Structure 1
Amino acid sequence: MYVLIVGAGQVGKMIASNLEDSHDVAVVDRDSETAEDLTYEYDVLSVEGDGTELETLREAGLEKADLVVASTDSDETNIVVCGTAKTASDAFTIARVRRRTLLNTWEGTQGAFGVDFMVCTDLLVAQTIFRISGFPRAQDVETFAGGLVRMAEFEIGPQSPLVGERVEDVDEYDSMTFAGVFRGDEMIVARGDTVFCADDRIVVIGSPTSVKEFAMANVPETTSSAEDVVVVGGSEIGYQAAREFEAHGFEPRLIERDHDRARELAEALPKTFVMESDATDTEFLDREHIDEADIVIAALESDEKNLLVSLLARRVGVDRTVAIIENTEYTDLFETVGVDVAINPREETAEEIVRFTRTNQTEKIAMLEHDRAEVIEVELGPDSALTGRRIADSAADLPDCVVIGAISRRGDLVTPRGTTVLEAGDHVVLFVDAAVLDEVSTVL
Structure 2
Amino acid sequence: MRVIVVGAGEVGSSIAADLSSDHEVTVVDIDGGQVESISYGEDVLGVEGDGSDVETLEEAGIEETDMLIASTNDDRTNIVTCGTASVFDDVFTIARVKSPQYLRTWERGSRVFGADFMVCTDLLAAETITGVIGLATAQDVDTFADGAVQMAEFEIPAESPVAGQTVEEADRFDSLTFAAILRGDSIIIPRGETRIEADDDVIVIGSPESTRAFSAAIAPEQSGPKDIVIVGGSEVGYQTAKLLEARGFSPRFVEHDPDRARWLAEKLPKTTVMQNDATDREFLDREHVGTADVLISTLENDQQNLLACLLAEQLGVDRTIAVVDTVQFADIFEAVGVDVAVSPREATAGEITRFTRGRRAENVALIEGNRAEVLEFEVDEDSDAVGCTIRALAGELPDDVVFGAITREETLITPRGDTMLAAGDHVVVFASASAIDAVTGVL
TM-score by length of 2: 0.97
Give the aligned partner of residue 293 of structure 2: 294
Task: Specify the alignment match of 1:63 in structure 2.
Answer: 63
Answer yes or no: is the 8 Å Cα contact 1:294–1:320 preserved in 2.
Answer: yes
In 2, Cα distance between equivalents of 1:326 and 1:150? 27
Matched, 1:398 2:370: no
Residue equivalent to 1:219: 219
- Counterpart for residue 254 of structure 1: 253
Which blocks of at least 5 consecutive residues in structure 1 are unaligned? none
Matched AA of 2:159: Q
Equivalent in the alignment of 2:376: 377
Q: What is the aligned partner in structure 1 of residue 26 from structure 2?
A: 26
Q: Which segment drifts farther, 394-403 or 77-86?
A: 394-403
- Match in the other structure for 1:85: 85
CA–CA distance in structure 1, aligned partners of residues 194 and 254 of structure 2: 45
Give me the whole-angstrom Cα distance separating, in 2, the residues matched to 1:265 and 1:350.
29
Cα distance in 2 for residues equivalent to 1:378 and 1:350: 22
Q: CA deviation at 1:401?
A: 0.9
Q: Is the 8 A contact 2:401 2:432 kept in 1?
A: yes
1:324 aligns with 2:344: no
169-178 or 374-383: which moved more? 374-383
User: Is 434-443 or 405-414 further displaced after alignment?
Assistant: 434-443
Q: Would you say the 8 A contact 1:26–1:45 is kept in 2?
A: yes
Letter of the aligned partner of 1:206 in structure 2? G
1:62 deviation in Å? 0.7
Q: CA shift at 1:325, angstroms?
A: 0.3
Within a 5 Å distance, the mapping from 1:138-149 to structure 2 comes to: 138-149=138-149
Residues matched between the structures, number: 443
**Helix, strand or coil at the partner of 2:107:** helix
- Pair 1:203–1:278, CA change in 2 (3 A): same
Structure 1 residue matching 2:17: 3-state secondary structure = helix
* Alignment correspondent of 2:96: 96
- For the residues of structure 1 that align with 2:30 and 2:308, how far apart are their CA atoms? 36
Contact 2:162 2:217 in 1 (8 A): no
| Contact persistence 2:2–2:23 (CA under 8 A) | yes
Corresponding position of 1:265: 264
Check conservation: 1:36, 1:46, Cα contact below 8 A.
yes
| Structure 1 equivalent of residue 5 of structure 2 | 5
2:54 counterpart residue number: 54
Structure-2 separation of matches of 1:394 and 1:360: 22
**SS state at 1:386 partner:** coil
Aligned-residue sequence identity (percent) comes to 55
Is the Cα contact below 8 Å between 2:51 and 2:81 reproduced in 1?
Answer: yes
Whole-angstrom distance in 2 between the partners of 1:149 and 1:440: 19
Partner of 1:362, secondary structure, is: coil
Q: What residue is the counterpart of 2:351 in the other structure? A: 352
Distance 1:384 1:19 in 2: 27
- Between the aligned partners of 1:91 and 1:356, the Cα distance in structure 2 is 15
2: CA distance, partners of 1:425 / 1:103: 32
List alignment gaps of at least 5 residues for structure 2. none
C-alpha distance in structure 2 between counterparts of 1:50 and 1:136, whole Å = 45
Name the CA distance, whole Å, in 1 between partners of 2:149 and 2:170: 20
1:423 aligns with 2:422: yes
Q: Which amino acid aligns with 2:295?
A: V
- Cα drift, residue 230 of structure 1: 0.8
Paired residues for 1:112-131 under 5 Å: 112-131=112-131
Residue 89 of structure 1, CA deviation: 2.9
Secondary structure class of the residue paired with 1:158: coil
For residue 273 of structure 2, what is the amino acid of its counterpart? V
Amino acid at match of 1:164: G
Quote the offset at 1:145 in angstroms: 1.0
Q: CA RMSD in A?
A: 1.4
Any idea what SS the aligned residue of 2:240 has?
helix
Deviates more, 1:299-308 or 1:34-43: 34-43
Q: CA-to-partner distance for each residue in 1:11-33, whole Å, 9 max, x for gaps?
A: 11111111111111111111111
SS of alignment partner, residue 280 of structure 1? coil
Pairing 1:127-138 to 2, within 5 Å after superposition: 127-138=127-138
Partners of 2:315 and 2:270 in 1: CA distance: 25
**Cα separation, 2, equivalents of 1:163 and 1:100:** 41
> Structure 2 counterpart of 1:437, which letter?
I
1:127 Cα shift?
Answer: 1.1
Deviations 1:199-238, CA, capped at 9 Å, x for gaps: 1111111111111111112335332x11211110000101
Q: Superposition pairs for residues 150-299 of structure 1, below 5 Å?
A: 150-219=150-219, 221-223=221-223, 225-299=224-298
Amino acid at match of 1:26: T
Report how far residue 359 of structure 1 moved.
Answer: 5.6
